[in-house]
Amino acid sequence: MRLIPILLLCSGLLPCLAQEEDAQELDCNDETVFQAVDAALKKYNAGLQSGNQFVLYRVTEGTKTGGSETFYSFKYQIKEGNCSVQSGISWQDCDLKNAQEAATGECTATVGKRENKFSITNQTCKITPGKNPMVTDDLPCLGCMDPISTDSPDLEPVLKHAIEHFNNNTDHSHLFALREVKSANRQVVAGMNFDIIYSIVQTNCSKDRFPSLHEYCVSLPNGDNGECRGSAFVDISDQIADFSQSCDLYPGHPMSELLSKNCPGCPKDIAVDSPELKDALGHSIAQLNAENSHPFYFKIDIVKKATSQVVAGIKYVIEFRARETKCSKESNTELTADCEINRVGQGLNCHANVYMRPWENKVFPTVKCQALEMTTMMTMPPGFAPFRTIRVQETKEGTTRLLNSCEYKGRLSKAGAEPAPERQAESSQVKQ
């Protein structure tokens, strides 16, 4: 029986997967949308080596971007059908498998159309296995290829080898890293055979700067990506004796390609309390105190913003506020953790660039700072609490500072009593 595709395009079309200004929501009645989804699903089914084909269940969201080439970006849900991948039957002629036993999945794809031809530029699918019926009289199949967990420790050396194999045998300008393991099977022989499907993603590490993947290599959100199938034989001594791999590489989003190209290391924001900043901040404040002629050490008070960038090393750009401490350089050989900040002392707004090459133990910090306006508190009259602090600003001409007025609000002297009248502290001058 021919299954009529259920295209529920109107049941949850959400705003843009792509954020370009000319992106439009998919039209429920646009036949081209179905053709684009059909091309993506056929591509996925063609990559399956065993089992049954998947059938379209519904399209949940998507957008269309016009231009010299039209791009359709969408998500769609699929269910396992009853036609095997070797049957040669189109998914549209398959029935759905029993709901309890059928695997289900969700795919995200970008499909380009030029002169009535469709090309899949990007596609990833996440499959959830169905519940297979229990057959009590079936014995385990010794020596068969059986599924294993995608996070099995046995896969780690094979996946590491797979990524190295890809990076060493492609002419792409950048290194790729593992994104996700989609499925894995293992067969016990005189050793073990592995069959793995996994996705890869371009990192910000170019091959001319990095010979291999490093901890500072991070994936580019708009970079190229791909899907690979790897087969490995691990002998009885746990050595990879044979390996083969096939990959489909998809270019990054066409509207963002110029941004991702020529980007050996794009700056990324870091949380101001990230442990990653510890060393960079330590070098920054040490450089500040070494260059500053102030008699007291300064200490970092607040980190305002920080970014990191991979550039044949790693470069940190940090904005922070430093405060004078109570530890003098005359009495202390260095700034220590127990040096207290002097809240009425000098404050600095600082901008630091710290270039680090940890594997060579090299650090190159530069720090530039500007003085803050100083802030203090007037002595409070008995029975009063501050409503706001007093601003003290240095004058350019002389050695005096002008104290702006400060309001105070009285406390209740006893339960139910009215607060004391508000008082205004008069402006005064204080000699420096």
Express each pLDDT in 256-287 by its tens digit.
444 444 455 677 878 888 888 999 999 999 99
Domain boundary among 227, 247, 263: 263
Residues 278 and 366 occupy one common structural domain: yes
Cα distances (angstroms) measured from residue 304 to each of 219, 271, 349, 366 = 26, 10, 10, 17
Task: Give the number of other Cβ atoms within 10 Å of residue 46's Cβ.
Answer: 9
Model confidence over 196-248: pLDDT tens digits?
Answer: 999 999 988 888 888 888 877 888 877 888 889 999 999 988 899 999 999 88
Q: Residue 258: enclosing H or E segment and its boundaries? A: helix 257-260
Shared-domain flag, residues 354 and 274: yes
Q: 109 lies in a domain?
A: yes
Report d(CA 67, CA 27) in Å as an integer: 17
AA letter at 47: G
Q: Count other Cβ atoms within 10 Å, centred on residue 177.
A: 17
* 142 found inside a domain: no
Mean pLDDT of 353-381: 73
Q: How crowded is residue 428: how many other Cβ atoms within 10 Å of its Cβ?
A: 11
* DSSP H helix total and E strand total for the chain: 4, 22
Tokens found for residue 131: 């519940």
pTM above 0.75, yes or no: no
- Helix-strand-coil split of the chain, %, nearest 5: 15, 45, 40
Residue 299, domain CATH:
3.10.450.10
Q: Which residues contact 119 (CB under 8 A, 6 or more apart)?
A: 111, 112, 113
Q: Which amino acid is at 269?
A: D
What's the CA gap between 251 and 60, in Å, rounded?
24
Residue 3 DSSP class = P
Q: Is 6 among the domain residues?
A: yes
Same domain (yes/no): 302, 403: no
167 and 208 in contact (C-beta within 8 Å)?
A: no
pLDDT at residue 407 in the model: 35
**Considering only CA atoms, which of 262, 108, 128 is closest in space to residue 182?**
128
Residue 374 banded pLDDT, cuts 50, 70, 90: low
What's the rounded Cα separation, in Å, for the pair 153 and 160? 12
Highest mean pLDDT of the ranges 14-18, 279-283, 305-309: 279-283
Tokens of 279: 């060393």
Task: Quick: pLDDT tens for 65-110.
Answer: 877 778 888 899 999 998 888 888 889 888 888 877 888 999 998 8
The span from the CA of 337 to the CA of 348, in Å, is 19
Residue 52's SS3 state is strand
Same domain, yes or no, for 175 and 101? Answer: no
Average pLDDT over residues 145-162: 89
Full residue range of the structural domain in which residue 283 is found: 268-371
Is residue 140 included in any domain, yes or no? no
349 and 290 housed in the same domain: yes
CA angle 371/294/305 to nearest 5° reads 40
**Cβ atoms 224, 247 nearer than 8 A:** no
Residues 20 and 122 in one domain: yes
- Under 8 Å between Cβ of 107 and 124: yes
Residue that is written with structure tokens 């007093």 in the block: 390
What's the pLDDT score for residue 140? 53
